[in-house]
Amino acid sequence: MRCPHCGNSDDKVIDSRTLAAGDAIRRRRECISCGFRFTSYERIEDKQFMVIKKDGRREPFDREKIERGVQRALEKRPVSQMGIESLINEIEDEAAILGKEDHEISAKVIGDLVLEKLGALDRVAYIRFASVYRHFDNLDEFVREIHKMENSPMEKNNDET
């Protein structure tokens, strides 16, 4: 496959996984020429997995988009690249399972999944993501959200310094 970064067409597959109990196969590829990593999907034709956006429009599911949001939230946080990768794998897997029937999933469900996973991993990242994703209307709402988190079991995974 052609590298989206440098255009070279030689790559090697570094990881291959089945999604949603066999509906799709996801391959992680690495460009031989520049080392850029990208993802390809193999699925039965006309079963493209779609995301329903807030305004009702649909767009193809985009792992990179989730990755960007998660990376931003985890910027300078003590979470390894492997940790991020497996978090995104989990989100992708669960999204694929939740949307299996209709081959689509709402952006809100994905956002909630991301929040749930981030919450279990890193509290600061959770707050960052939540403040962008939920567009808190006011401070009360934001404080309530933080209190909710403080009373939840995720507290024990915390490594605040």
Nearer to Zn ion, 2 or 58 (CB): 2
Query: CA separation (Å) from 29 to 2, 61, 97?
Result: 10, 18, 23
Q: How far is the CB of 122 from Zn ion (least distance, A)?
A: 31
Nearer to Zn ion, 31 or 88 (CB): 31
Residues at the contact surface with Zn ion, assessed by CB under 5 A: 3, 5-6, 8, 31, 33-34, 36
Q: How far is the CB of 13 from Zn ion (least distance, A)?
A: 14
Nearer to Zn ion, 64 or 155 (CB): 64
Q: How far is the CB of 35 from Zn ion (least distance, A)?
A: 7
The radius of gyration computed from the CA coordinates of the chain, to the nearest angstrom, equals 17
Q: How far is the CB of 1 from Zn ion (least distance, A)?
A: 10
Strand 24-31, strand 11-19: pairing: antiparallel
| List of residues 6+ apart from 36 with CB closer than 8 A | 3, 4, 5, 6, 30
Question: CB–CB of 96/24 below 8 Å?
Answer: yes
Nearer to Zn ion, 3 or 95 (CB): 3
